[in-house]
Each structure stands twice: as structure tokens, then as C-alpha cells.
Amino acid sequence: MEAGSYAVKFIRKIQNEDIHSISPRQDVTDAFNEHVQEWTKHTIWADRCRSWYKDYKTGRVNAIWPGSSEHFIELMKQPRFEDYTITYRKKNMWSFLGLGNVPANMTEGVDRSPYLSVDAIDPRWLAAINRERQD
């Protein structure tokens, strides 16, 4: 579920911001790999053993997350877009903003400020204001 959700966040960003491509930055992947290798020094993977997780000749661990499954799930909740090189379809990265309108602005009879409603008011604040009015 988390991996699917993670991928959908990328897809939405690509669609919403008119992005041509997103690719992981080499310096970031190098730093992550360095971290993984340091982490493995403090685990069972530091022992000499044959495993598909590691290159037996070099001892380099190639296929393991540096932490628990829960740790991985937490990280996957929010993409780190700063770790990627993003190329936009147009020269100006802000061109996706267009003319600054949304469909609601162009549709007759649509509430132009749906974020303003009594339901959105903190009930504790509303109760306090009503008490002040009664006094």
C-alpha cells in the first residue's frame, strides 16, 4: 500500500506541475549507499557469509533496507522530492500556474470560498465567542 501511495504522489506531482522527468540525483544515491554500507557494519551482515543480499567477493551489501520494515514504511509516507533532479516540460518551472484560475472560478453559481464555513470554525472558539456575547 505504501509503495503504491508513494508512486501516486510522484504521478500527481508530474501531472500537476507539468514535469517532463524526475530522476534520482547521483550524489543522493551515493550518500544513501554509503549510509547503508556503514549501517551494515553494525549488523549480522558484517559477518562473512554467502547471501544474495551481498557480494561475497567484496562484502558489499546490495539489497537490504538499513532498518526495520516499520522504518521503511514511515519513510515511504512522504517522497523526498529534493533528492531528485526534476526537468520541466517548459523553460519556466512556474508556467504550470497558468493564468491563476481554477474551474470553480470560471463556473457560474459555484461557492468561491468553500474554505469559509461555520463547520470549519473550532467549536471551542465558537463556544467562547458565544459566551462573551451572552455576558
d(CA 22, CA 4): 17
Cell 551481498, located at residue: 54
Specify the amino acid at residue 11: I
User: What is the pLDDT at residue 13?
Assistant: 97
Other beta carbons within 10 Å of 61: 20
Torsion of CA 96, 99, 102, 105, to 10 degrees: 180
Q: Is 21 helix (H, G, I), strand (E, B) or coil?
A: strand
Its pTM stands at 0.69
The rounded average pLDDT for each run of 10 residues, N- to C-terminus, in the chain (135 residues) is 83 96 97 94 83 82 89 92 97 92 82 79 86 75
What stretches of the chain adopt beta strand conformation (E)? 19-24, 84-88
Query: What per-residue confidence (pLDDT) applies to 3?
Result: 65
